[in-house]
């Protein structure tokens, strides 16, 4: 039984969006996904798919892409990416009900994997595409969603004792109560280019996350946009589909 992750499958079974214009690695990438996933992942494993699943502009246009993922082996937990138009942020619960037993959707909630809590949100980093004020607004909304995810997991792990105050984000004494272990998932990289830390990395540290797993970065020029390897005791992993040549990455044995 293992935990894997991969992101940015960018499927388009219902809409015309050829991906091989982005380089050879994208040629027939859905066939590679199918092949490598079936080779590595069994029905006893769990795969977190870190966003940008589908080019569809609504649920109907994304249905075939989601069905493709649902048919792959293992338990599938999906995170929201910036291109996932089918996923109304306010309707995560509805998606969880519609795909119950086939796909699970991670936002404002959490999922258990052995003795780990899998938490996450889309995240955000500054890419120069909007004003800094707008960036901060979106980032703060994502931080709140991440905090809700951590808190839901943290509170659920505490029985028979008071959970204590909600960790005041940014303060020194943040230490989660209970004995939860966390793996934190983001779609966007945890830092903007050049940053040595961010509110996302500080939240990962505050809750004592063991690993932070993210994707979104495409092409060699972007693979080093953010952390890879150990920073302040947390292991950071990039799992963009093209970075992995579409082989699901082992997160926990």
Point out which residues bind Fe ion (CB under 5 A).
Answer: 52, 81-82, 216
Min dist CB 187 to Fe ion, Å, is 6
Q: Is 84 helix (H, G, I), strand (E, B) or coil?
A: coil
Min dist CB 243 to Fe ion, Å, is 12
Between 45 and 249, CB nearer to Fe ion: 249
The span from the CA of 201 to the CA of 44, in Å, is 31
Given a contact cutoff of 8 angstroms between Cβ atoms, the answer to whether 68 and 176 are in contact is no
Min dist CB 216 to Fe ion, Å, is 4
Q: Which of 98, 48, 41, 25 is nearest to 212 (CA)?
A: 48
Min dist CB 3 to Fe ion, Å, is 22
Between 176 and 189, CB nearer to Fe ion: 189
Q: C-alpha angle with apex 242: 66 to 50, nearest 5 degrees?
A: 45
The alpha carbon of residue 46 and the mean position of all alpha carbons in its chain are separated, in whole angstroms, by 13
The alpha carbon of residue 197 and the mean position of all alpha carbons in its chain are separated, in whole angstroms, by 19
Min dist CB 10 to Fe ion, Å, is 9
Between 135 and 169, CB nearer to Fe ion: 135
Two tokens, residue 64: 């075939």
Between 82 and 96, CB nearer to Fe ion: 82
Between 217 and 251, CB nearer to Fe ion: 217
The alpha carbon of residue 107 and the mean position of all alpha carbons in its chain are separated, in whole angstroms, by 9
Between 125 and 143, CB nearer to Fe ion: 125
DSSP tag of 162 = -
SS3 breakdown of the chain: % helix, strand, coil, rounded to 5? Answer: 30, 20, 50
Q: Which residue is nearest to Fe ion (CB)?
A: 216
Min dist CB 122 to Fe ion, Å, is 9
The span from the CA of 72 to the CA of 35, in Å, is 10
């Amino acid at each position: 039984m293992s935990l894997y992750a991969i992101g940015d499958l960018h499927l388009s079974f219902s809409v015309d969006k050829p991906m091989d214009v982005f380089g050879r690695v994208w040629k027939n990438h859905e066939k590679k996904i199918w092949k490598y996933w079936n080779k590595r992942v069994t029905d006893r494993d769990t795969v977190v798919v870190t966003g940008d699943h589908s080019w569809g502009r609504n649920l109907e246009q994304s249905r075939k892409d989601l069905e493709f993922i649902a048919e792959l082996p293992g338990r599938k937990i999906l995170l929201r990416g910036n291109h996932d138009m089918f996923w109304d942020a306010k309707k995560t619960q509805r998606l969880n009900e519609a795909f119950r037993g086939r796909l699970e959707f991670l936002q404002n909630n959490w999922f258990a994997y052995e003795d780990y809590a899998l938490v996450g949100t889309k995240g955000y980093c500054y890419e120069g595409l909007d004003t800094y004020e707008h960036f901060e607004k979106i980032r703060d909304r994502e931080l709140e969603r991440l905090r809700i995810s951590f808190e839901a997991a943290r509170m659920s792990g505490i029985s028979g004792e008071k959970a204590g105050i909600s960790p005041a984000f940014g303060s020194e004494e943040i230490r989660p109560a209970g004995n939860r272990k966390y793996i934190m998932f983001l779609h966007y990289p945890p830092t903007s280019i050049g940053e040595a830390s961010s509110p996302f990395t500080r939240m990962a540290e505050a809750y004592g996350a063991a690993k932070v797993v993210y994707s979104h970065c495409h092409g060699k020029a972007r693979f080093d946009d953010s952390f890879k390897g150990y920073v302040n005791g947390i292991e950071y992993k990039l799992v963009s589909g093209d970075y992995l040549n579409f082989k699901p990455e082992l997160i926990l044995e």
